[in-house]
Structure 1
């Protein structure tokens, strides 16, 4: 299907429409057999991704989603049937700012009288770990935004992204060893399995399910986990990436002290390093216990496995 221009079709406003999660929401709603008008918000409507959306029939609106632009957000949300919001801690490394911007969007969504607010939330790690892991700021901030939506009474659903498969070519990018081989280093044990999602390709499937399923579109705060499969670092590196890329890639567990030193040298501030360290512990010891797997058979199609994702990567540029 194409993106509808019929004024009778539901209007969904998508925050971050040129980004990974928002872009996936646009793509997967455009693929639905139901008609949707889509208004995509972006900070720069002149960039290539934004003009491409406009060419597909998206109403592209330039809007800074900051607390000093509440009037602009309010205007951008007007007339929406559905609104998808996402915040990005890693853009500014400020949990307080993430909360404030998320709450501002929640307030504007409520004022717009939205039928359903889709929030890209996450688990409260402090709570899930019984207070043992208190520094996973970007998880806790997103959870606080969800709780704020609950407190103000806006109808919402919490669409939680799992680990990004694309991390293997970004922040977990294999490092060259100088002998034609590569290594991925992390504090997780090699056999630690995480729930993964090819976010750009498949996250929007779960947003679409949230809107189109009577189970999740009730607005009473249900949570969906956007995931595809559980995979270990050992299997990702030693098997999947090595076999598909034709290069020898291994996973190496390092100590917390080594991780802190390396990230500090890379310019990451101490509180962001703390976030990473506590997140690793959460992944290994808590997430498997609290993760609720959304039934994948309810989706419009099956999401990609890690192997299928890896086959779409240009490994010659990642592993030169």
Structure 2
């Protein structure tokens, strides 16, 4: 029986600031463990340390540049499905002004279609400009992902997209949980004590979601194609998260409002999340559509016990 190849972008490490680090490596590990599908890592530099590590684990690594569509067509041939992931290219540029995520994402979709891929999963985000009725216009990295999502839906490919909240792993990936004289502090720009955030335990929930979508997309009764799935483990304020963290660690964990970043797209990103309670309030937590597909969501308490205490506990 031929291998059911799933080509995965973003499998070789951190992609950018805050909400943009990749879950591709975790997806590959989950696909390997499950055994139904064979992962293929698509990377720009197959000789990088991270790529060589994947090769050492017996994973096929293929060169493909998101800004070069023709390189992607060859890289994706033979794939049943694709997990598409992009990261912001700073300084952020509009289409036609230089390298950007919109061009990158459209190239992935076009290449997948040309290569004969059956199913495309897109790591997306909502358009903040649309959500805010034009109040926030500088969150280009969200708007461009959303534009790719719409392009994918009109492509004729069977597809699904997912939206992520604030990464719980930012506690250590980006130093969000900082040591103080009495314990720790969580400092976030623009957030007040009562402002809520949608949180995603990326390395737990994203691989589980991707695997569930892959296993169910051929079943028409599941009605997967064209749908967008918010992946949220919890919706609570940063002050509540800090309190739960303190309880788990047995020390004081405070929340403070950090100064503005001084970067328009990033500041507006935080402002919009704070104003709209993490962006995904229309979807129950955990997402019932994903639960129906068999996805099990870890809790905040499980995250603190399994991930935070080993890293920050005494």
- Measured against the shorter chain, the TM-score band is 0.7 to 0.9
Cα drift, residue 81 of structure 1? 0.8
1:98 deviation in Å? 0.9
Q: What does residue range 228-247 of structure 1 map to in structure 2 within 5 Å?
A: 228-239=233-244, 241-247=245-251
Residue 92 of structure 2 corresponds to 94
- Over the aligned positions, Cα root-mean-square deviation in angstroms equals 2.8
| Partner of residue 294, structure 1 | 287
Does residue 131 of structure 1 match 2:171? no
> Would the aligned equivalents of 1:210 and 1:217 in 2 still touch at CA under 8 Å?
no
Q: Secondary structure, in 3 states, of the residue corresponding to 1:283?
A: coil
**1:246-257 matched pairs, under 5 angstroms:** 246-253=250-257
Q: Does residue 59 of structure 2 align to residue 61 of structure 1?
A: no
Q: 2:268 matched to which residue of 1?
A: 274
Task: Write the distance in 2 (CA, Å) between the matches of 1:31 and 1:226.
Answer: 21
Matched, 1:18 2:21: no
Shift of 1:293: 5.2
Selected match of 1:161 from 164, 168, 174: 164
Q: Which runs of 5+ in 1 are unaligned?
A: 1-5
Q: What TM-score do you get using the length of structure 1 for normalisation? A: 0.81
Q: Is the 8 A contact 1:136 1:278 kept in 2?
A: no
What is the Cα deviation at residue 48 of structure 1?
4.3
1:209 matched residue in structure 2: 212
Q: Distance in 2 between matches of 1:215 and 1:168?
A: 39
Matches of 1:79 and 1:40, distance apart in 2:
13
User: In 2, distance between residues paired with 1:283 and 1:47?
Assistant: 39
CA pair 164-58 structure 1, distance change in 2 beyond 3 A: same
* Contact 1:133–1:282 (CA under 8 A) maintained in structure 2: no
What SS is found at the alignment partner of 1:313?
A: helix
Report the equivalent of 1:221.
226
Q: Is the CA contact 2:159–2:225 (under 8 Å) kept in the aligned structure 1?
A: yes
Whether the 8 Å contact between 1:155 and 1:218 is mirrored in structure 2 is no
Q: Structure 1 residues 217, 42: CA separation in 2 closer, same or farther (over 3 Å shift)?
A: farther
Partner of 1:275, secondary structure, is helix
**Map of 1:46 onto structure 2:** 47
How far apart are 1:230 and its partner, in Å?
2.3
- Within the alignment, does 1:313 sit opposite 2:312 as a pair? no
Maintained 8 Å contact 1:194/1:231: yes
What CA deviation, in whole Å up to 9, does each residue of 1:263-306 have, x standing for no partner? 23xxxx3443333333432335x531467852253355523222
CA shift for structure 1 position 22? 1.2
> What is the distance in 2 between the residues matched to 1:95 and 1:198?
29
Distance in structure 2 (CA, Å) of the matches to 1:161 and 1:216:
25
Alignment of 1:4-15 (within 5 A): 8-15=2-9
Please give the alpha-carbon distance, in whole angstroms, between the structure 1 residues aligned to 2:124 and 2:90.
Answer: 18
**Bigger Cα displacement from structure 2, 98-107 vs 216-225:** 216-225
Q: Any conservation in 2 of the 1:209–1:216 contact (CA below 8 Å)?
A: no
Runs of 5+ unmatched residues, structure 2: 14-21, 95-99
Q: Is the 1:24–1:202 Cα contact (8 Å) retained in structure 2?
A: no
Structure 2 residue matching 1:92: 3-state secondary structure: coil
The structure whose residues are more often helix, as a share, is: 1
Sort the Cα spacing of 1:220 and 1:95 in 2 relative to 1 into closer, same or farther, 3 A: farther
Segment drifting more, 72-81 vs 132-141: 132-141
Name the SS of the counterpart of 1:157 in structure 2.
Answer: strand
Distance 1:51 1:216 in 2: 41
Question: How many pairs does the alignment contain?
Answer: 297
